[in-house]
Amino acid sequence: AERLYIEDCPKLEEVNHFFEKEGDNIIYKIPSKEFTGKVDFSGCSRINIVEMPENMQEIPDQALYTWNNVKEVRLPDTVTKIGKEAFAYCSNLEKINLPDGLAFIEGKAFSNCRKLTEILLPESLRDIKVDGFEGTGITSAEIPSECQLGEGVFSACSNLKDITIRGKDITITPY
């Protein structure tokens, strides 16, 4: 893949930021597992895919909060927790892979990601906190049987047609 430096990202001060081109997409490869989520992406209008670092275990609170240009997020298989509001208000987020070892999704993690219409929740998931997917474009959800749901996990999801609890003969259809 072609390595790029994106000049329209003036706030990225560290020299160890990596960009690659994949077709028409520009991928931002976050450089280290110590990523704190405190990167200023303002002005980075050309980047639309973010790849989290290998061996990262937790996505920090507000990691990509309100970053509207991101369309896809690639998580490594090592992620076990997604922090509070990690991807909240990423209004163009369409795709994210949730790894098989993911156990916890904190409150409002995907709040108002309106273009996020499909999500595959792994069997390892144990807890989705308050408003985890509120206001998303999700059309259906299949919840692992051992997963605890916080209040309003799917509130304001106007496209949601049904929720199924895996391993149980339960389907919930919103009114």
Mean pLDDT (the chain, rounded): 84
Q: Are 50 and 71 in contact (CB under 8 A)?
A: no
Give the tens place of pLDDT for each residue, 23-52: 877 777 777 655 666 566 666 677 889 899
Give the tens place of pLDDT for each residue, 48-105: 898 998 889 999 999 888 888 899 999 999 999 999 999 999 999 999 999 999 999 9
> Percent of the chain at pLDDT above 90?
55
Please choose, from the candidates 10, 104, 93, the residue with its C-alpha nearest in 3D space to the C-alpha of residue 59: 104
Per the DSSP assignment, residues forming a β-bridge with 165 are 143, 170
Residue 121 has pLDDT above 80, yes or no: yes
Residue 15 has pLDDT above 50, yes or no: no
Please choose, from the candidates 113, 112, 143, the residue with its C-alpha nearest in 3D space to the C-alpha of residue 128: 143
The pLDDT of residue 10 is 58
The pLDDT of residue 165 is 87
Residue 3 has pLDDT above 50, yes or no: no
Work out the pLDDT band at 168, boundaries 50, 70, 90.
confident
Q: How far is CA 166 from each of CA 19, 77, 99, 125, 160, rounded to the nearest angstrom?
A: 39, 22, 17, 12, 17
Tokens of 44: 């980075």
Alpha-carbon dihedral of residues 152, 154, 155, 157, nearest 10 degrees?
180
The pLDDT of residue 147 is 93
Question: 0.75 cut: is pTM over it?
Answer: yes
